[in-house]
Structure 1
Amino acid sequence: MEEVDKILIHALKQIGTEVSEETDSIKRFTSELIVESVVKCIRVIDPGLGSALPTSLPPGMSARFRVGMMLAQACQDIGYKGEIGYQTFLYSNEPEIRSLLMFLVEKLPRESAEASDQPTGKSVVLQRAISAAIKAQLAVPWLPPNCRLPLHYATQSQETLHSFHVQPLSLPQSSGKEHLKEVKDYQRDILLPITAQLSSRTCLVASVLEQHTAELSAAQEWDNEWNSQGLLSRLTPQEYRSRKLTRLHKRIEDQLRSAALPSSESAFGVSHATSDLSELLQSFSGSTHSDHILTKGSHFTHTQKFTFTQDTTAVTNPIPTVRQSEGDALLRQQEELTSLQQQFQQLCSHVSQLAADMKHTNVTNAQVMDELKKREQANSEKEEKILVKKKTIDLLPDTDNNLLKLQAVVEASSKRVINLATQWEKHRAPLIDEHRRLKEICSTQDLESSRKLSEIKSLHDKISVSTEEAKRKEEMHKQLVTELENLPQDASRAEYTQRILEIVSNIKKQKEEITKILCDTKELQKEINNLTGKLDRTFAVTDELVFKDAKKDESVRKSYKYLAALHENCNQLIQTIEDTGTILREIRDLEEQIEVENGKKTVANLERILDDYKAIRQENSALAAKIRDG
């Protein structure tokens, strides 16, 4: 049973059951560990059934009985045929738990039994190491810096903690295309390694992770875009990239042009207030009002500006006298500042008025231009009508001849139309046939291209699935190799093979001994049957002979009586021997039953049952007291 228990414990560990290293046999399983093992197995076998089961026993006894009944019902639902109940989990014995666990382990799916539902690959080893380190750090209580001993500085020192600070890295880009010689020389001779590009070595890991994440996300976005839109465009990846780059350049140019226009003109254009590029350009251009933007002015505005400049210059440069005090100078400066502010406000209002007038003039000019275009179009239509009426009036003096001429022209035109229609019909039929043929070819090509496109998509999906499967198997192989390397080297495969061969040879020897014992038993039974038959026949012949002589001789009659008594005593002796064998067999069976009952720990279970019974009575009395108080 030792090998069976090791196999069961190994399978339970694979599905996530926390079995300690000291537990090497089913005999050492506690009730909590039994419940956890059974629930983990049921969750792997039937997730829907196991999701409602708790992995630990509750503190209350009534709740423990309910959990035991739920587990027993769940085991019966998945096909367990043995005797099972709440006592199997609460008052367990070794044979019943072993048979139940053997059934559950055999019911586990192969994939789950081999790999369970845990991730595979080198990341598993790393995650286990990280989790072990975190558990070790969490197990150490946190202490203030002043109370820390030298033992705690290794795990709680602040010198090992750094903020996640990222700096840009310049990495050599490797691709299938040939780089320029200057680029290769730069990457070989001038480009610094990433450890020298950073201002601090604490940023190295964060910067590398950020760079790798950015490249990985860009590659995934390109794959998604190419599979969703690139394949439908029926272009090569290079053509698709160039077309996308051209569209981006065109969009940037449009945004730059619209941003360079004045606000009055761009208001009638395309709205780009929501564009990121427009917001960037607006932040570069500043938040000044459109009326304050420097534009090209007229001669009148320049003259007015020059006049106001001279006036302000004349005002701001008075010739102070020596007799003025400092207070008069400050008062004069305040008055000059007030007058300048008033002039500035007047100028601003005048400029705004001029801008409003200019806008009104532009709108009026646009309306006048539209009205002018409409009138010119109406004049051209009226001129055409006048020309037609003039030609008609010129034809009125010679009406008959003109009518004949018109009829002749109409007949000639109709004949020409009929001739042209006939010629068109001759050309139209082959053109229609050719059009239909080309249309059918196009539809066939479209269907073929759609079919090939769907095949390409399915191939892409299969390739991705195969790649993921290959990666998963490769990671599983690496994990198994790592676990094999971590296993103790003293236990070799040859030793395990030798142990298996020894077990097989012992089983063969036991089978041979059992077969030999059965053969001996059969021979003994056959010999006993032969002797019994021979004895019966001998007694029958002797009885017949002696009975014939007993009628004549008295001594022979006594001999016959002794013979009958001897035969009866021999039968009783044989019966006694058979009864003795039966009793010995019953004794052995009873001894085996006693050993089984001793293994079931009946006395300990009875004591536990009594304790649980007392706990239930206490709970019931507490509940009754609550009900009475309520």
Structure 2
Amino acid sequence: MEEVDKILIHALRQSGTEVAEDIQSVKQFTSELIVEAVVRCVRVINPALGGGLSPSLPPGMSARFRVGMGLAQACQDLGYKGEMGYQTFLYSNEPEIRSLLMFLVEKLPRESAEASDQPAGKSVVLQRAISAKIKAQLALPWLPHNCRLPLLCKTQSVGTSQSLRTQPLSLPYSNKSTGRAPPKALRDYQRDVVLPVTAQPPHQGALVASLLEQHTAELSAAQEWDSEWNSQGLLSRLTPEEYRSRKAARLQKRIQEQLRSAPGTPSPGSGGAGSGGAGSDLTQLLLSFQGSGPGDRLLPKGTHFTHTQKFTFTQDPGLLVEQMAAVASSMPLGGQSEGELRARQQVELGELEEQLQQVALGTERLSDRMKQMNLSVAQVTHELKEREQGNQEKEDSLQVKRQTVELLPDAHNNLAKLQTLVEASAKRLVSLAAQWEKHRDPLIQEHRRLKELCTNQDVESSRQLSEIKDLHEKIRETAEKAKKKESVYKQLISELENLPKDVSRSAYTLRILEIVGNIKKQKEEITKILSDTKELQKEINNLTGKLDRTFAVTDELVFKDAKKDESVRKSYKYLAALHENCNQLIQTIEDTGTILREIRDLEEQIETESGNKTVANLERILEDYKAVREENSALASKVREG
């Protein structure tokens, strides 16, 4: 059992259980260590089942019983057939714990089993310990500092919370994957200008968040590229460089088209936020940059003179003369006072506003009249097209009737000629149909052949495409396996260098051979004992049969003579008594053997029970019972006080 315990302890350490170096046997396991080992194994086997299990025993006895019942139920859900309950974990029994741990270690995934067969170096053990610690802390719920229990106060920081702030980082990347060296200017910039990563964020607290965001962005970009390449890139049948260049060209072409189609100024229908196709994001962005030109300003500015000039040249020439006269008359004269000048300007301003209103009304009337005229023109145009179409149909009908009237005077000859033309046309159609059939058959055959060839090519292309996808997936998996094996190889090399040189492999080989030889000897001895037992049973059966036959013959002979002679009659009685005593003696020997076997079984049971620590477990049960009663009384007192 020593070798089995070593294997179990090694597997438990690989699964994340913290087993001390001085523990060399399952017999040394405590209840806390057993619970932690079982929970770690259940989490590795079935994370959903082990997610709600705690790897540590709580201080209260009632909570301990609940944890033990939960672990027992989880092990039974995994398929454990042995008898188990909370007592299996709280009052440990060495054989039961060994069988349970062997079941859980056998249930571990293959990757974990393979990893458990490999020696773990100090770096790997440290990484696994860090991972287990982080997982344990992440499993605990976060609570404010005032609401935390003493256990959470130890595991969660009491520092003040800070907001997550990130900043883009400038990281130098190597181009080993592309096989091209970076330009010299870029290398000089990265060496002389770019600050170290730790100095780029404005404060030290943003370093980790910035690195995490940078890594997440790069990882998501790589995953998007992989998915796009596996879905669309492979279908394009191009190399990755050609696919990227074609995608960049398409993007550049689209931007150029948007730049060409962007209007000079936003129209009224497209300037709002809810406009249609002209209100796309790119068009709005382009329109927002058009205010830089001298003639494309969205909000043009100018002097009073420019506005007056623009308004003046949009008016009628007659109104222009009147406005010029009004402006000339509104010029201040030397003999007028400022108040009279302002009153006159107000009167002129009122007259100009009335004129402007009249002009606006006239413009509205003209626009309404123009709309009516446009509608009338459209209706007239439609009626004209319909009449022209009707006239064309009537002209065609008139032409046919005219030709028919011209043929009426010589109707018989014309009918004969028409019949001849119809028959010639029919013969010509028949000959053309025959010629078409001659040309049609090979074309149809060729079309069918080409269609079948295209179908076969499509099927072959689909098959090759699926094979390419499978090959890409296998290449990715192989690359991951190669990386894992490379890391394992480096780890084994480092451990080999750290191992003592005085230990030879032959010693382990001899030990293994000795174990195999002992097992072989035990098998031979067991086989020999079984064969001896069979021979003894066979001999006993032969002697028993021979004795029964001898007694039957002797009984028959003596019984015949006993009828005639009194002394023979006494001999017959002695013979019967001797046979009965022999049977009792044989039965006594068999009972003695049965009692000896029962004694050996009882001794084995006594040894087993003594190994189960029954007395110690009973004492622990009594102590736990007292603790539970004390907890119940304390809770009852709290309830009464509340």
SS of the equivalent of 1:17 reads coil
CA shift for structure 1 position 279: 1.7
Matched, 1:301 2:301: no
CA shift for structure 1 position 609: 1.1
State the alpha-carbon separation in 2 of the partners of residues 217 and 52 from structure 1. Answer: 31
Q: Which one-letter code corresponds to 1:33 in the other structure? A: L
Q: 2:618 aligns with which of 599, 606, 618?
A: 606
Q: Percent identity?
A: 41
User: Residues 73-222 of structure 1 correspond to what in structure 2 (within 5 A)?
Assistant: 75=75, 84-115=84-115, 164-166=166-168, 187-188=183-184, 192-198=188-194, 202-203=199-200, 220-222=223-225
Matched, 1:224 2:221: no
Q: 1:400 to 1:298 in 2, by over 3 A?
A: farther
CA shift for structure 1 position 421: 1.6
User: Residues 319-358 of structure 1 correspond to what in structure 2 (within 5 A)?
Assistant: none
Q: 1:133 to 1:409 in 2, by over 3 A?
A: same
CA shift for structure 1 position 49: 5.9
Q: 1:625 to 1:348 in 2, by over 3 A?
A: farther
Q: 1:384 aligns with which of 387, 392, 417?
A: 392
SS of the equivalent of 2:262 reads helix
CA shift for structure 1 position 171: 8.4
Q: 1:465 aligns with which of 473, 490, 504?
A: 473
8 A Cα contact 2:9 2:19, kept in partner: yes
State the alpha-carbon separation in 2 of the partners of residues 24 and 334 from structure 1. Answer: 116
8 A Cα contact 2:16 2:129, kept in partner: no
Q: 1:619 to 1:451 in 2, by over 3 A?
A: same
State the alpha-carbon separation in 2 of the partners of residues 391 and 509 from structure 1. Answer: 121
Q: Which one-letter code corresponds to 1:448 in the other structure? A: N
What whole-Å deviation, never above 9, does each CA across 1:41-75 have from its counterpart, x for those lacking one? 34445667656755444554345335435544655
Q: 1:259 aligns with which of 256, 259, 262?
A: 262
Matched, 1:272 2:277: yes
8 A Cα contact 1:169 1:207, kept in partner: no
State the alpha-carbon separation in 1 of the partners of residues 441 and 359 from structure 2. Answer: 75
Aligned to 1:544: none
State the alpha-carbon separation in 1 of the partners of residues 448 and 427 from structure 2. Answer: 32
CA shift for structure 1 position 383: 4.0
State the alpha-carbon separation in 2 of the partners of residues 127 and 347 from structure 1. Answer: 87
User: Residues 417-566 of structure 1 correspond to what in structure 2 (within 5 A)?
Assistant: 417-484=425-492, 487=495, 489-492=497-500, 495=503, 497-501=505-509, 503-504=511-512
**More off after superposition, 377-386 vs 68-77:** 68-77
What whole-Å deviation, never above 9, does each CA across 1:56-107 have from its counterpart, x for those lacking one? 4455434533543554465566565666443321111444433432343244
Q: 1:440 to 1:243 in 2, by over 3 A?
A: farther
State the alpha-carbon separation in 2 of the partners of residues 250 and 196 from structure 1. Answer: 37
State the alpha-carbon separation in 2 of the partners of residues 317 and 497 from structure 1. Answer: 121
8 A Cα contact 1:259 1:278, kept in partner: yes
Q: 1:453 to 1:299 in 2, by over 3 A?
A: farther
Q: 1:346 to 1:389 in 2, by over 3 A?
A: same
Q: Which one-letter code corresponds to 2:621 in the other structure? A: I
Q: 1:194 to 1:281 in 2, by over 3 A?
A: same
CA shift for structure 1 position 113: 1.5
CA shift for structure 1 position 31: 1.0
8 A Cα contact 1:5 1:24, kept in partner: yes
CA shift for structure 1 position 10: 1.8
State the alpha-carbon separation in 2 of the partners of residues 375 and 213 from structure 1. Answer: 70
State the alpha-carbon separation in 2 of the partners of residues 249 and 433 from structure 1. Answer: 50
8 A Cα contact 1:15 1:113, kept in partner: no
Aligned to 1:528: none
**More off after superposition, 418-427 vs 209-218:** 209-218
State the alpha-carbon separation in 2 of the partners of residues 600 and 251 from structure 1. Answer: 81
Q: 1:168 to 1:81 in 2, by over 3 A?
A: closer
8 A Cα contact 2:72 2:84, kept in partner: yes
Q: 1:106 to 1:282 in 2, by over 3 A?
A: same
What whole-Å deviation, never above 9, does each CA across 1:509-557 have from its counterpart, x for those lacking one? 9789999999xx9xxxxxxxxxxxxxxxxxxxxxxxxxxxxxxxxxxxx
8 A Cα contact 2:265 2:287, kept in partner: no
8 A Cα contact 1:61 1:612, kept in partner: yes
Q: Which one-letter code corresponds to 2:437 in the other structure? A: A
Q: 1:359 to 1:133 in 2, by over 3 A?
A: farther
8 A Cα contact 1:315 1:336, kept in partner: no
- Gapped regions of structure 1 (runs ≥ 5): 139-154, 522-578
Q: Which one-letter code corresponds to 2:200 in the other structure? A: C
8 A Cα contact 2:8 2:101, kept in partner: yes
Q: 1:246 to 1:112 in 2, by over 3 A?
A: closer
State the alpha-carbon separation in 1 of the partners of residues 10 and 408 from structure 2. Answer: 121
**More off after superposition, 373-382 vs 454-463:** 373-382
The TM-score with structure 1 as length reference comes to: 0.60
SS of the equivalent of 2:19 reads coil
CA shift for structure 1 position 275: 2.0
Aligned to 2:68: 68
CA shift for structure 1 position 280: 0.9
Q: Which one-letter code corresponds to 2:231 in the other structure? A: S
Matched, 1:26 2:38: no
Q: Which one-letter code corresponds to 1:283 in the other structure? A: S
SS of the equivalent of 2:7 reads helix
CA shift for structure 1 position 440: 1.8
CA shift for structure 1 position 12: 0.7
CA shift for structure 1 position 34: 0.4
Q: 1:302 to 1:125 in 2, by over 3 A?
A: farther
State the alpha-carbon separation in 2 of the partners of residues 194 and 480 from structure 1. Answer: 34
SS of the equivalent of 1:495 reads coil
- Gapped regions of structure 2 (runs ≥ 5): 139-156, 202-206, 530-591
Q: Which one-letter code corresponds to 2:288 in the other structure? A: S
CA shift for structure 1 position 450: 2.6
8 A Cα contact 1:11 1:105, kept in partner: yes
State the alpha-carbon separation in 1 of the partners of residues 177 and 362 from structure 2. Answer: 63
How many residue pairs get aligned? The number is: 529
Aligned to 1:282: 287
Q: 1:276 to 1:16 in 2, by over 3 A?
A: same
State the alpha-carbon separation in 2 of the partners of residues 594 and 392 from structure 1. Answer: 128
CA shift for structure 1 position 470: 1.4
